[in-house]
Structure 1
Amino acid sequence: MGLLSSKAASLFVAPENRAAFQAQALQREAERFVQQLGELKGAYVKIGQMLALYGEHLLPRPVTDALHTLEANTPPLAWDTVATQLGAGLEGLRIEPQPLAAASLSQVHRASAPRVRRPLCVKIQYPGIADTIEDDFRNVMQMLSLAQWVKSGRQLQDLTKELHTHLMSEVDYARELRVAGKFSRLLKSDARYCVPAYYPKWSSDRVLTMEYLSGVEVTDPAVQGLSQARRNRLAKHMLALFFHEVFDWGLMQTDPNFGNYKIMIDPEGENDRIALLDFGAVQVLDNRFCKALRTTITSAHRRDRQGTIDGLIALRCLRADDSPAVKQSFVSFCEFILEPFSQTADEWPKHAVSDEGNYLWRQSKLLTRAGKRGSDGMLVKGFVVPPPEFMLIVRKLTGVFTFVSTLDARMRCSELLQPYLD
């Protein structure tokens, strides 16, 4: 109602001041909308966070900016409340009432069990979340429509479907257990990564029990204080994991939140590892999508314009009858985002090259420059918003590149892409 009142009030504003008045009104209403989501908590917060990630091309910029301010961590619920979710079948499991962490849909507690030497933790879903999530999702989308922040059409339908699928996956603990098992098997012999052991006998549709892995986030001073060589290795581990996910496995963790990964620092300094902690947001990528993505990436790396266009058409980012300007805009963006994987430093901006000829991830400001280029591309006449799957990849890459930049990596990366070029 506030936005509608503001629109009506703008009719009484001088024409030369109307645009500024409406922009200020939109900013106020966006902040009010996000405040309401935060107060409602639970699934509403998660839905808002997902809209911030996937709605950037369909929602007004002030709305997505405001949605990005939603806190990932929320105050934990009292133990007596979350304990109602435990049910039967957890005999022998001792759970500490004080939570380790709390998020929008669940909270995590330390635990232990007889004859289990490993420390454990238990992820407990909040009461009622799974039962109300459909209504909560519908309510948020209706709010967006009433505010006239989204327009009906194929793109909105695709976004709604994508968000709904991801949201339901987040509360499907049986699925998360299966996906975690797949990752565990895929990485069993890879010393660069660690997947916690899960315990199905102490898990249910509302509870997940797993091994507790000690470690710190990438932003921790202990990680930031590692030698350049060790930070470079960790950065390559994260980049290699991305290529494995999208090219080799067709399984991708779509939530690049730093909290979903821990750095397990090796006291001997030989093998620092990345622990993968959350599998609720993992999406299965079909073969068609993976093949098209591979074609797009490898062609863009080779500067093969037609191959890149063919890949983008297969990804449904382009149409065969799109204008040359639209096609060139997408091709240029794909080539640009692969800048760190160039085989020679000649293709890098001067500020991104070290004296030793390595790529400076933090100083490169790659994501800032890519965001500007992407915004400019949207202004090209005939531009069509890419499908949610492609935006998912862009978001994933943003998270991976941010992780690498946070490590202040200084290295060449072309060899990571080379196996897929061959």
Structure 2
Amino acid sequence: MWHLGRATGDLAAGIGVKGMLELARSRKGDQPARIQLSPEHTRRFTDRLARMRGAVMKMGQLMSMDGSDVFTAEAAEIMSALRESAEPMPMSQLVQVLEGEYGRDWNHRFKRFEFSPIASASIGQVHRAETRDGRRLALKIQFPGVRESIDSDIDNLAFLGRSLGMAPKGIDIAPFLDEARRQLHREADYAAEAEALERYRTLIGEDPDLFIPGVHHDLTTHNILAMDFADGVSIDRLAGPDYRRAERDHAAESLMRLTLRELFEFGLVQTDPNFGNYLYDSASGRITLLDFGATKPVAPELVELYRRMARATIDGNREEMRAACVAIGYIGEDDPREHVDTMLDLLQMSAEPLRHEGLYDFGASDLFERTYKNGRAMFHSGAFSTAPPPETLFLHRKFMGSFMLSRRLRARIDLAEMAARFI
């Protein structure tokens, strides 16, 4: 809680009293709230989140995915560091974890072990290693104490969310927080993640565009996940000048197709859209998929409801849209017609890429701003009388992440033709 207070203090100090008043005012007005932070205060805020790890750092990662809509462009660039690196654990702590999992002679298992992590995230950090029998591995090693801090982290975030007015009127967010709590506990169990990774790898099969690392069970525990090492850079680097439009379009198309397959074909969704979970290898053109702790099965009944809703939205059948939304829980059976129409209008707007003929230019689209503005107004209006199942929270996170990535890469995708195969 002390760390959360310090981080929030840096945020408040950076915005200033006037800025906090403006932020509160803009949250009630028509324009999206935009946080004005100086580079110095942004770095301090980011550094605090990087040291906090766990659930609080995950919040920061989500804020940074397309932070230009909440932060200034300069602040968003600094915040993006949260997607790839947390503060690494001290050497003594790292050795303590390795000894606890592998024994005091842990180093005898490896021909080479790099003590400097190649990546650090919210729950653990990744080290490159080579076993004595020649296997090139990436070892994801969990930060000590993360599993024990999850419950207090969620409680602290709930307090912060209520303080900043992030919960809609009339909706009990406790079930959603409980689902987030359960999800984080699953993510902190690397043995469970290894099982999810292998199941997902079987579903993907031999794919020319995607690579799923294999698990090495002899070195995998509840706190260490041993996987094949894969070369590559974070997928959002493709937005830079060193990569061609064709590469950006192909990468975004591959991952958007994967999102559709996960929901409508697999019934198994990797729900963490952090850009750092996708590595692009320019030599092969393949994308390595990482981090399967947030993998969730989706009930066949819910999959069919989403298919029904998507088909009705594409066709413009508002009565069928309404029926699907009621069945999922987005609206209540007896909600006023005005509220229902507002929800259906928002749904049709958000489905714009699915209804567009030909290539949809995500880079030139202002769809995010339009849906953000209208959705936020509904969110704070008190129009909601019901809420969908808590597990939809993670599906929404994945859908948003796929859109954000396509937007970041300024990709052009014929999403309508692609989706027709699944819907």
TM class, shorter-length = 0.7 to 0.9
Q: Kindly state the Cα deviation for residue 153 of structure 1 after the two structures are TM-superposed.
A: 7.6
Q: Secondary structure at the match of 2:364?
A: helix
1:302 aligns with 2:315: yes
- 359-368 or 132-141, which deviates more: 132-141
Q: Secondary structure at the match of 2:116?
A: strand
Q: How far, CA to CA, are the matches of 2:422 and 2:198 in structure 1?
A: 26
**More deviation, 133-142/94-103:** 133-142
Question: Is the Cα contact below 8 Å between 1:194 and 1:276 reproduced in 2?
Answer: yes
Deviations along 1:367-414, one digit per CA (max 9) or x if unpaired, are: 122212212434666334743434433332221112112222224222
The C-alpha deviation readout for 1:330-351, integer Å capped at 9, x for no partner, is 2222222221222536xxxxxx
Structure 1, unmatched stretches of 5+, are 3-16, 54-60, 346-357
Whether the 8 Å contact between 1:155 and 1:385 is mirrored in structure 2 is no
TM-score, scaled to structure 1 = 0.77
Offset, 1:260: 0.5
Find 2:202's aligned residue among 157, 160, 185.
Answer: 185
Q: In angstroms, what is the RMSD of aligned CA positions?
A: 3.7
Higher RCO by CA contacts (8 Å cutoff, separation 6 or greater): 2
Q: In the aligned structure 1, how far is the partner of 2:61 from the partner of 2:283? A: 34
Out of 291, 303, 312, the residue aligned to residue 290 of structure 1 is: 303
Question: Who is 1:160 aligned against?
Answer: 177
Structure 1 residue 52, shift from structure 2 partner: 6.0
Q: How big is each residue's C-alpha offset from its partner over 1:252-294, in whole Å with a ceiling of 9 and x where there is no partner? A: 1222111000112246xxxx22210111122222222212111
The change in CA–CA distance for 1:380 and 1:152 in structure 2 (over 3 A counts) is closer
The within-5 A match list for 1:8-407 is: 20=21, 23=24, 38=49, 41-43=52-54, 45-46=56-57, 48-49=59-60, 71-72=82-83, 73-86=85-98, 87-88=101-102, 91-93=108-110, 94-117=112-135, 119-141=136-158, 155-220=172-237, 225-266=242-283, 272-342=285-355, 344=357, 358-378=359-379, 382-384=383-385, 386-387=387-388, 388-407=390-409
Secondary structure of the structure 2 residue equivalent to 1:159:
helix
SS of aligned partner of 1:81: helix
Check whether the contact 1:223–1:263 (CA below 8 A) recurs between aligned residues.
no
For residues 169-189 of structure 1, give each alpha carbon's deviation from its aligned partner in whole angstroms, at most 9, with x where no partner exists.
Answer: 220111100110011111122
- 1:135 Cα deviation after fit: 3.8
Once the two structures are TM-superposed, the CA of residue 243 in structure 1 deviates from its matched residue by: 0.4
Partner Cα separation in structure 2 for residue 323 and residue 36 of structure 1: 46
- Normalising by structure 2, what TM-score? 0.77
SS at match of 2:410: coil
What is the distance in 2 between the residues matched to 1:149 and 1:331? 22
Match of 2:197, SS state, is helix
Task: Look up the SS of the partner of 1:97 in the other structure.
Answer: coil
Deviation at 1:238, TM superposition (A): 1.0
Q: CA deviation at 1:362?
A: 0.2
Larger of the two Rg values belongs to structure: 1
Deviating more after overlay: 89-98 vs 156-165: 89-98
Once structures 1 and 2 are overlaid, which stretch shifts more, 224-233 or 124-133?
Answer: 224-233
Report the Cα offset of residue 50 of structure 1. 8.1
Number of residue-to-residue matches in the alignment: 376
Q: Which deviates more from structure 2 when the two are superposed, residues 375-384 or residues 250-259?
A: 375-384
Against the structure 1 CA distance between its residues 40 and 225, is the aligned structure 2 distance closer, same or farther, given a 3 Å change threshold? closer
Question: Deviation digits for residues 191-224 of structure 1, max 9, x if unmatched?
Answer: 2210011111101011011111101122325875
Q: 1:218 to 1:320 in 2, by over 3 A?
A: same
> Residues of 1 paired with 2:156 and 2:409: CA distance?
40
Match of 2:410 in 1: 408
